[in-house]
Amino acid sequence: MRHHEEEVMGTVVTFDLFDERGFNDHAVDEAFARAAALLHDVDEVFSTWKPQSPMSRLRRGEIAVASAPSQVAEVLERCAYAKEVSGGWFDPWSMPGGVDPTGYVKGWAAQSSLAVLASLGAAGAIVNAAGDVAVAGQPKPTSGFRVGIVNPFDRSVLVCAVEVAGGVATSGDYERGSHLVNPFTGDTTTALASATVTGPDLGLADALATALVVGGREVLAFIEALSGYEAFLIGHDATWSTSSSFALASEVVL
């Protein structure tokens, strides 16, 4: 296995390649560098903390979408779809200060960087962007990737593990405090302690996990209607539930 870490987008992103035999060190290092560069570019475009980023300028009304880098229009189009399929519970246009696609961008960026690693042809690859995890292939010939879900009441332990073939995103306010906005009321009171969503598009999984935490169990019906997406929910009372086909790989311990 080859491992690389990169500090970007306000967090540490890790890259791992499995069974990379046959690839020289230069090719692997170059793939890591290209994947990291992609994330840095996304941060420069979409950061709402950098005053002169295209997204910050768009939020202030200084530029239009057509004048921003092409990624902006692509992401906002994907966000509009996420808003639609979540019943409006994920809505970047309801955020204070103007449109803020952060809830989609991190997962989208992680999956985009995974594509760079996967193009190398290794047996397996994984990108972990602070809990938004994208995988390709397998770490071993006889087993797939398993990702642990953190206990929101005790982050030092895992609640369970899930089998992942695409992406898995977990959302909650247990790390950053009250920062998730209810698009219908504008308040930051969450309905769940945490929510995890798996699916082929990590950006959409990220958005849906946010929608679940904010909207609660009623949002689960929207996810059940989407092919390939499943969810795991933990309430503030430590009760848990899942969508019909969530791929638990271990028993839930709460």
> What are the backbone dihedrals phi and psi of residue 12, each rounded to the nearest 5 degrees, phi first?
-105, 125
Pairing of strands 2-8, 11-18: antiparallel
Contacts of residue 206, defined as CB under 8 A and 6 or more positions apart, other chains included, come to: 103, 104, 106, 107, 108, 132, 169, 171, 197
Domain boundaries, the chain: 2-242
Query: Can you give the pTM of this predicted structure?
Result: 0.95
For domain 2-242, give the CATH number. 3.10.520.10
pLDDT per residue over 187-233, tens digit each?
A: 999 999 999 999 999 999 999 999 999 999 999 999 999 999 999 99
pLDDT at 177 over 60: no
Mean pLDDT, residues 104-124: 95
